[in-house]
Structures are given as structure tokens and as C-alpha cells.
Structure 1
Amino acid sequence: METYADLIECEDVLLFANAAITSTGQREFHSAAGEQRLSLAFLHSYIHGNYPDLYAATLALDINDHNAALIIANLLKRKGGSGDARLIARRLGRMSPPRAYRLFQELRRAGVNNRRTRALVRDWLAARPDLAFDAVKYRSAVKSAVRHAHLRPEGELGDFLFAPFSRSRYDTPVLEAWRRAHYDKGALYDLPYTVAEGFAARHGISRAVFLERIAPRLTRLERLRLTKSAERDGGRTEADLAAMPLVRVASYVLSLAGGERARRRTELVAALRASAARAAGARAGTWGSVAAVLDDSFSSFGSTVKRRRPLAVALACHYLLEALAGTYRGLWVSGGPDPILVRPTGPTPLGRRVIDALEQRPDLLVVVSDGWDNAPPGLAAEVLRVWRRKLDPAGEVGIVHVNPVYDAGRFDVGRLSAMVPTAGIRDAEDLPALVELARFAEGRTGLAELRAYLADRAARR
């Protein structure tokens, strides 16, 4: 028999998981960056202080890198906790290199230099596939990490980090390219894009020529980001959209003008569906009949620092659900029939769209929205209450609300109704796991099952 304290603990952990998945401490449509950071800081302090084991276990969930770095830093500041080492190392291994190096620099500024921290930095650096490449691309960060961990790189790497001009030649190609790029224009094209860009400016190379020649060195994401700027500067880069993560593809589509989207419809739809099929994997076509209510109201614009991010998540979820479902129906709150041409506009009549979606009693209804139901206010909550209590008390239709926006004032993502579970979402690829996690918010399973679920996720990482 679970106690009231167990129920509170379960709800607290789920609330924190929603925040850690969605919020990056940046401005949102309804809250400033300062509010986001203050709200997150309180949640981290509260959960870490009251449930330290579950706080560490959330690293096994699909939380974003911003919150993973905060959790790791807080765990490393705490005395003991050696049982967290494996989970920390695995989560750090999935973190992007720039974020990991920033974490190391933050630990150094905070004076966190215990044995666990030094071992973690040492092992992470040793596992890097090409540390010389990192030394060129993130030289100051690598240098800081090496010093903080009390490491002494030998040979060329050590010389490059602490006395780069002490050698007249390096045998490591990327280090030699960096040395030669100071006087040889041709050498800079053997360097990472971000490093080569600075040398190109120093040598006075035109942007169009530089982009054309550096193209083979671009990463997939660099190629995608530079596609539009390259055309503006007189050059051209080709991005393999289908190989990109689903939300990245959706964000790129939404960045295009309506006319260009219509002209490139076949290409863009094919890229979205290919990325969605890859995310669905073996689960493709296994979800039965699925309906979705997708928020393209004005608030889905997000903010100037997260431009159209909520709408990109909704568009990505549309194509992923299409891939997962046996039969699928997607409804945009604006009433627009064409997903490729969606844009953030108008109010949020979620209640009306939920009624439309439930008419055919699908196996699963997924609502992708920031939860600001305002046309009229509260209609969605009332529709869901009546549906659950009067029309479908047995819960034959599964209903899940996923929300891409953290509400700093509520310390949680906005909820449509107490009758349906809500989970935070950042990347569409996490949707299947979030639908699975949402069952804990329905009250049908409790703390023991949640702990078992977290332990299983940690074991599979």
C-alpha cells in the first residue's frame, strides 16, 4: 500500500522530469529568461535536496543537455554519491562536446575538483575519438579541462595546448593544418569550419569562395544552418534533410517562406517522412488508430531565441504520429489543411479540435500544445472532463497531452485537464517514451513502478 508521501514523491519527480525535458533557461512566449532560470534553479534544489537518488536517476530520461549539465554539476558538488558515477558518465557521453566542455569550465569556476570530478573529466577526454581535433576546435576549453583534471598531455598535443608555436612542424594532420593556416590560405580548408572561418577572414577570402571550398568539411548541422546564408552570399551548400533529426527538419521547413515551401513541397514532405520513419523504427504502423490535435496558434511562435520551436515540435510530431499509426488523422487548431504551410497565427480553440478528434473514437489522442486554451478559455478541460466521466469512463480512448513549453510560474508545463496526463516534450523522437512515461501521471501506477521504470531506463542507457 502506497502512502500519501509516496504519491507526493511520484508527482514531484514527474513535475521535475517535465521541466528538465522542456526548459533550457531561455525566454519563452509567456515568460522571460530570468523567470525560467529562477524557476529551474528552485526545482533542481528542491528535488536534489529531497529525493537525491531519484534526482540522479532522471539522467536516464530524455532530459535536455542544459538540465543534464545542471544535474551532473550538482551531483559532483555533493560528497559521496559514488553510485552515480556510471549514470553520470553515460549521460555525459551522450552530451554534445561544446556542452560538455562548458560544464567542465563551470565546474572549474565553481571550484569543484574532487577525485570523482577529475576521474570523470579524464575518462571523458580519453574516450574522445579525436582529441587533437577537439584541441583545434575547442582549444581554450580543452586546455581548461586538462588543467582542471591535473592531466599532463605528452607529445604534440601537450605542446599544441600550452606552447603551440614551439614546434616547426606537427605530425598530426589537423595540428599541422592549424599551424600552416597562419600563412597558407590553402591549409585552412583542412580545419573545422568554425576555426577555418576565422582564418578566412584574416586572409581576406570572399565568403562565397570560402563556403564553396570548405563544404566537404561541414557537418550535417553546419550544412543545414548555412544553406540559406550561402545562397545569400553567392555560394551554395547542399544539406541532406532526410538525414537530420526530425525537429531540425521541421524547423528548417518553417524558416522558409510560404511560396518556397509550396514550390519544394515534394522534397520537404519526403525529408520529413524519411526522418519520421527513422525515428519510428520497428514501431512504425503499430499504434492503431491515432488522432492528433496540433497547436499552430500565435503562441507557437515561441520567442526570439526559440523561434517557432513549439510549432516545429508540433509539425515533427504530426509526421512521427503518421508513421507510428495504422490510421492517422491530424487536426491543426487553425483549421488549416496543409501541414507544410502552417504558421503561428490566431487564438487557441483547443476544445473544438478535441471534440473533432474524439468523434471517431481513436485508440489514442495526442494533443501537442503549450496548454493556453483561450477560445473560449477552459473549453478543452471541460470537454475532456465530460469525455472521461460520462462518455468514456473505462478509458478506451487513450489521451495524452505533450507540451513543448515550460511554464516558469507553475514550475511545470501547462496542463489542459486533471483528467488526462501531461508530459513535457522537446524532441519529437522522444514521443514514444513520453507516452509511456505519461501513464505514471494518470495515477494508475505509483512510486514503486516509477522507480523500476527509471532503473530500467538507466540499465538500457
Structure 2
Amino acid sequence: MTETYADLIAAEDVLLFVNSAVTSTGQREFRSDAYEQRLSLAFVHEYVRVNYRSVYAASLALDINDHNAARIVTQLLRTAGEADAEQKRVEGRLIAARLAVLPPQRVYRIFRELRAAGVNNRRTRAIVRDWLAARPDLAHDAVKYRPGLKAAARHAHLPLDRGELGDFLFAPGRRVRYEHRFLDAYRRAHYEQAALYELPFTVAEGFAARHGVERKVFLERIAPRMTRLERLRSGRAADADLAVMPLTRLALYVLSLGFEERVARRAELTGALRAAARRAAGPYAGTWGRVAAVLDDSYSASGSGVKRRRPLAVALGCHFLLEALAGSYVPLWTSGARDPLLVRPWGPTPLGVRIVDALEAAPERLVIVSDGWDNAPPGLAGEVLRVWRTQLDQERRTSVVHMNPVYDAAGFDVRRLAPSVPTAGIRDAEDLPALVEIAQFAEGRTGLGELRAYLDRRVELFVKGVAV
């Protein structure tokens, strides 16, 4: 055995961090409040950064959520003195690559946090400069993210104080008109209602309220300038193109509809979910053989006030994705539901019973999507899986993996069902194939060396993919 006990512990620590960075956003969950989530997450970040800095940075190449990616970028730049020259070089590539795919509002928030923390070294200024240089239209950013752009320009000592963009940001009363359409539309929108419909939706919304424009009229006229997500959030879902919506986002939208509307639009909604699942499956569609799934639609799948129905949406998205990946597929919802389009969060969590039903189908793969709170009766799922693995399937004819969409703040990880079953955190259903690959390292048969090799491959592919 080439791996030492310390290496195996290190591998477990790294996987624990990956699970937390995939699932937790520091917001309230069903069983823990926001303070507990933030406190737990802060400890895990600090622990892994101090003890495994290279792995901490490499996590930017994984399917972690934007909240944790932003936190990693900030922490790496704030603690640059702890890194050697080679680490800084790799970290710089990873940070630039991750910033390129983060939403711009999050990136500007990172820059403001760095300014507040007094982080202004040469590497940080270069990262800010390069990211801004790659933006497609800084005038658009000046209108939509004005405080963020101003803070970034000042903090990194960028020469944005010249020309009309500089006047717009730092001396708005200097010009009577601007050449750029966004800048001039913003100027005119202060006194001209028609001009607000030339602006991005979030900016125009404030001017509409100032001018007293009726909400319904405003939404109808601004609709062509709204993104798909803005249409959904503003209640104009009919204008959203479901055919190109990501799988988990689409599942959340479906669950937000009443039962009657889901039934009336069954063909449309089911077709859109299956199309999104096929896109997510990609070349792996139909390659997973016989698959059974245990999907948690118990009451705890309702999530929290800030993450409404998120766990159930992940389960619903995984259902359609597994259907696309499998050659043959047996889905089992904990409530006994037969119609995936009409699932709702209710009742207890009889995972053990459903796992027995799933194993009776003799699948090649069993995928469990649940928050891990097995309570009908408590502990049955873990015992079923223990007996199955140690007594009935020692040859591992059936691959079992547990996908958990909820971070357990008290345990600093996602809740597990059994030591013999690998568990991985999941936030978006479309990430399931990649997360199943990561879950293999949680079985305890592989150590830090293999995990580092896997991370190195992901880093190289991630940086090259963004560069292309």
C-alpha cells in the first residue's frame, strides 16, 4: 500500500471541502440557519487553505458554486504571502479562469472586498486590469455596475478617468451628452421616460419607479431587454425560452407552478426537461446501463425561505438526467409518487425501504439523491446498505452513490448514509456525471495521490477550456 494513513485522512479532508463548496452558499437550510452555515463554511475554508493550499486553489476548477468560488479567490489573494512563486503562478491562472466564468456582479463584489481589506499588490492589480480589459463593453458595466467599476478602477489605479467613460464615472456633470448609447440613455432617463427602455432591465427598473410607471406597462415594454432569468424572476415566464434553460433552473420553474398548470402544460414541460437532460448528458447519454434511483421528495426537500424547493428541484433534475444516461431506468420517490411532474415535498423519508425496492431490480448503478436524513425508521438506509455491501454484494456488481444537495453545518460536510457508500455534494443536477466521478474517491480505497492527479487534470482542462 503506497498511501499512508495521513494521506487517506488528507484525501477525506479535501473531499469534505469539495462537498461543502458544492452545496453550501452560506444561506439558511431546512435544518440550520444562515449564521450556522456561514460559521461552518468559514472554518472549512480556513482549514483547507492553511493545510492544503494547492488543493484549495485547484477547487476553482471543479463544479463548486459561485459563492465558494468567490470566497476562494478572495482568500487566495488576501493570503498571497503564504504562497511560493510556483503556487502564485498556478493560482493566478486559476483565478483568471474562474473570474472569466463568474457573473460580473460577483466579480465586482470580490474587487470591493479586496479594496476593503487593503489587498492591492501587483498580482491583484494585474488580475483586475486583465478582467476589465476582457469585458465586452465597459460602458454597459458603468451603467449596470457603476459602484463596482468605480471601486475597481480606483483600487487598481486604472486609467479610466479619461474620456467620456471617465467623465460618466467620476465627473457626471461635466458633459451635456455622451456618444455611447448606454451612457447617454442613462443621462436622459433622469427626465425622459422613453430613455429608460434603452437601459438594462435592473437599471431601468429604478428609473421606472422614479417616474411612476405602472409595473405591468414597464414589464411589457422592457421585455426585449430582459434575460431569461429576469423574465422568470419578474413573473414573465411565458416569455422565457424553456428550450435553452439549464436543467436545475428549469426544474425550479416547473416546481413553482401549480398542479393544474403543470398538468395543462405536461407535454411542453416534460419535453423541455428531457431536452435539458439530453444536453447535460452529452456523449454519455444511454451509456450507464441499468440504473435505479431513490429520489427524496420528503418534507425536508422543501428547503428554506431563501432556497425554496431547491433540494426537490435537484432530485427532479437528476431524475430526468438519469433517465437520459441510463439504458434502462427505475425511479423510486420516497413518497411513492409515480408522476415526476407532480412531485411535491411532503411526508417522512423512508430511504431504507426505497433502497430495498431499488436493489430488487438488480441495477448496475444505484443513485440516491437525498439530504441523508433517513427517519422512517431512522438508520434503516445505512443498515440496508451495510448488509448489501458486506454480505450480499461483496463483488460490487452494483455501484451505489449518494448525491446530497444540502450542507450539514454541524458536521462540516454533507450528511452520509453509510461508510461503505460514497457521498458527494450536489447543487445542480447537470453536474451529476462529474460528481459521480469525484465520489469514487470517497470510498476510502484511494488516497491523496490519486486525488491530486485527478485535480491536476481538471485544472489543466479548466484553464485550457476557458482560454479557448
- Structure 2 matches for 1:90-129, cutoff 5 A? 90-129=97-136
Displacement of 1:444 in angstroms is: 2.8
Q: Which residue in 2 is equivalent to 1:82?
A: 88
Distance 1:248 1:51 in 2: 33
Q: Which residue in 1 is equivalent to 2:216?
A: 208
State whether residues 299 and 347 of structure 2, in contact with CA within 8 Å, keep that contact through their aligned partners in structure 1. Answer: yes
Give the gaps of 5 or more residues in structure 2.
463-468
State whether residues 226 and 237 of structure 1, in contact with CA within 8 Å, keep that contact through their aligned partners in structure 2. Answer: no
- Structure 2 matches for 1:85-234, cutoff 5 A? 85-153=92-160, 154-227=162-235, 230=236
Distance 2:267 2:234 in 1: 22
Q: Deviations over 1:373-411 (max 9, x none)?
A: 000000000110111111110111110000000000000
Q: Deviations over 1:276-297 (max 9, x none)?
A: 1111111111111111100000
Displacement of 1:237 in angstroms is: 5.0
- Structure 2 matches for 1:372-383, cutoff 5 A? 372-383=373-384
Q: Deviations over 1:319-353 (max 9, x none)?
A: 11111111111110000101111111000000000
Letter in 2 for 1:267: E
> Normalising by structure 1, what TM-score?
0.97
Q: Deviations over 1:78-134 (max 9, x none)?
A: 214422100111111111111111111111111111111111111111111111111
Letter in 2 for 1:181: A
TM-align CA RMSD = 1.1
In the TM superposition, structure 1's runs of 4+ consecutive aligned residues that sit over 4 Å from their partners are none
Letter in 2 for 1:354: I
Q: Which residue in 2 is equivalent to 1:233?
A: none
Q: Deviations over 1:408-440 (max 9, x none)?
A: 000000001011000000011110000001111
Q: Which residue in 2 is equivalent to 1:332?
A: 333
Q: Which residue in 1 is equivalent to 2:6?
A: 5
Distance 1:135 1:309 in 2: 33
State whether residues 8 and 446 of structure 2, in contact with CA within 8 Å, keep that contact through their aligned partners in structure 1. Answer: no
Q: Which residue in 2 is equivalent to 1:54?
A: 55
State whether residues 292 and 361 of structure 2, in contact with CA within 8 Å, keep that contact through their aligned partners in structure 1. Answer: no
Is the counterpart of residue 264 in structure 1 residue 265 in structure 2? yes
Distance 1:417 1:395 in 2: 15
Distance 1:441 1:204 in 2: 57
Letter in 2 for 1:45: E
Letter in 2 for 1:284: A
State whether residues 30 and 303 of structure 2, in contact with CA within 8 Å, keep that contact through their aligned partners in structure 1. Answer: yes
Letter in 1 for 2:118: G
Q: Which residue in 2 is equivalent to 1:441?
A: 442
Distance 2:173 2:252 in 1: 43
Provide the secondary structure at the position in 2 that maps to 1:365: strand
Is the counterpart of residue 252 in structure 1 residue 253 in structure 2? yes
Displacement of 1:445 in angstroms is: 2.3
Distance 2:25 2:216 in 1: 34
Distance 2:151 2:267 in 1: 48
Displacement of 1:261 in angstroms is: 1.2
Larger deviation: 48-57 or 18-27? Answer: 48-57
Distance 2:312 2:152 in 1: 38
Distance 1:293 1:135 in 2: 48
Displacement of 1:135 in angstroms is: 0.9
Give the gaps of 5 or more residues in structure 1.
231-235
Q: Deviations over 1:170-229 (max 9, x none)?
A: 1111111111111221111110001111111122221111111101000111112223xx
Q: Which residue in 2 is equivalent to 1:322?
A: 323
Distance 2:18 2:119 in 1: 25
Letter in 2 for 1:179: R
Q: Which residue in 2 is equivalent to 1:276?
A: 277
Q: Which residue in 2 is equivalent to 1:349?
A: 350
State whether residues 297 and 343 of structure 2, in contact with CA within 8 Å, keep that contact through their aligned partners in structure 1. Answer: yes
The percent of aligned pairs where both chains have the same amino acid is 69
Q: Which residue in 1 is equivalent to 2:368?
A: 367
Distance 2:332 2:165 in 1: 56
Count of residue pairs brought into register by the alignment: 454
Displacement of 1:58 in angstroms is: 1.1
> Normalising by structure 2, what TM-score?
0.95
Distance 2:331 2:119 in 1: 49
